[in-house]
Amino acid sequence: MISDKLQEKLNEQVQKEFFSAYLYLSIEAYFASVNLNGFANWFHVQAQEERDHAMMIFNYINRVGGRVILRQIDAPRTDFKSVEEALKLTLEHEQFVTKSIYSIVDVALEERDHKTNSFLQWFVNEQVEEEGNADNNIKRYELVKGDGRGILMLDAELAQRVYAPPALTQA
């Protein structure tokens, strides 16, 4: 069993992860609309990963005898002034998600719920990668900012990203 408080926090996280997928689909659509299909591909893969994260938590709640309660997903932003703005929003959003996961870990530790803490460590480690990737995209964009050839090179590189399901599915 899982406490009501942890169940509530995990259900909130399911909603946040699905919102993340929705946000990244919106950013994908923006990049596709400005013919940066490599950037669009990167965000398409990112959206798939976020759906995986939501389902991992969804499955965990069920596995520990909790009840999944899905929540409304707000509409994401759809307009961006620039590539840079979309990339910076991504890092800010990943930092928000990291804080949310940390808050769930804090509750698990307070309640001495070792199984949930153990489960969440995958997400703690994943957020290091998520924030690092988002920051890396910003820094690489800043190197070529204003140089159309550089942006197209970066776009071609981002087009190479392929979806890989998480090694630890937590199913």
Q: Distance from CA of residue 118 to its chain's centroid?
A: 20
Q: How many residues does the chain have?
A: 171
pTM, two decimals, is 0.94
Identity of residue 130: E
DSSP H helices, 34-159, are 37-63, 83-110, 114-144, 148-158
The per-residue pLDDT for 110 is: 98
93: domain CATH number? Answer: 1.20.1260.10
Domain presence at residue 75: no
Count how many domains the chain has: 1
The per-residue pLDDT for 167 is: 75
Identity of residue 98: T
Distance CA 15, CA 93 (A): 14
Dig out the tokens for 88 from the structure: 């910076």
Domain presence at residue 85: yes
Determine the structural domain holding residue 120 and report its residue range: 4-70+80-158
- The segments of the chain whose pLDDT lies below 50 read 170-171
Domain presence at residue 171: no
**Contacts with 46 (C-beta within 8 Å, 6 or more apart), sequence order:** 24, 90
CA nearest to 20, candidates 65, 57, 53, 64: 53
The per-residue pLDDT for 168 is: 59
Q: Are 55 and 18 in contact, with CB atoms under 8 Å apart?
A: no
End-to-end CA distance of the chain: 17
